[in-house]
Amino acid sequence: MQPETYEDRFEHLAALLAERLGEADIATVRRAYEVARSAHEGQLRDEGTPYIIHPIRVATLLAEELHNYSTHLICGALLHDVIEDSDITRKQIARVFGKEVARVVWLLTKFEDVSLPAYLAAIEAAPETGAPIVKLCDRLDNLRFLIHSPKGEKKRRYIRTTEQHYLPMAARTDKYLYDELCRSLEEIRKHVKSRRQTEADDQV
């Protein structure tokens, strides 16, 4: 059975990692989760779920689907939105988790004055950090749950930006993520088309 609460979801992730990582690494991952949970406290996703569920799902995707058990990437996935969504700084992340994790989180932080192409180009220019993989996992998770968002324009924007930017990036980065993005993209296209047809029928 799929875990329901974010606490259960994190414990599911921790159990996955416990098969591959030592106690010290698990403790580091748990600390990253606690920092992210505090940073996102009170924040909700469009579908009405606690925001922290999203970074947990991204980290779980890394371990469960990509079999990537890198402690710094799992921590980076859990923390990837904390600079953007809270007062936490890169220096604070570096002090607690090290410069490697801090760099990943910094690369994944989208600032308003930076265009999407420039943002993604900077991420892709640093493959040694693992940030491109985490970013693609982030987009894949968003696509998979986009169907639950009430925002039609957001769905159309995600379709457009995924086609234009994320699919080419995935094609250059990881075949599994490329295939999964294609599959999720097709599902959301069908969903949007169905919603449009239903709305048109209601107007008749």
Question: Are residues 137 and 77 in contact, defined by beta-carbon separation less than 8 angstroms?
Answer: yes
Question: Are residues 66 and 174 in contact, defined by beta-carbon separation less than 8 angstroms?
Answer: yes
Which listed residue (46, 85, 124, 163) is catalytic?
A: 85
Question: Are residues 83 and 90 in contact, defined by beta-carbon separation less than 8 angstroms?
Answer: yes
- What residues have CB less than 8 Å from 170, skipping those under 6 apart? 136, 177, 178, 181
CA–CA distance, 130 with 124 (Å, rounded to integer) = 9
Which listed residue (11, 46, 84, 187) is catalytic?
A: 84
DSSP notation for 128-184? GGTHHHHHHHHHHHHHHHGGG-S-HHHHHHHHHHIIIIIHHHHHHH-HHHHHHHHHH
Q: Annotated catalytic, 84?
A: yes
Q: Annotated catalytic, 138?
A: no
The residues annotated as belonging to the active site are 84-85
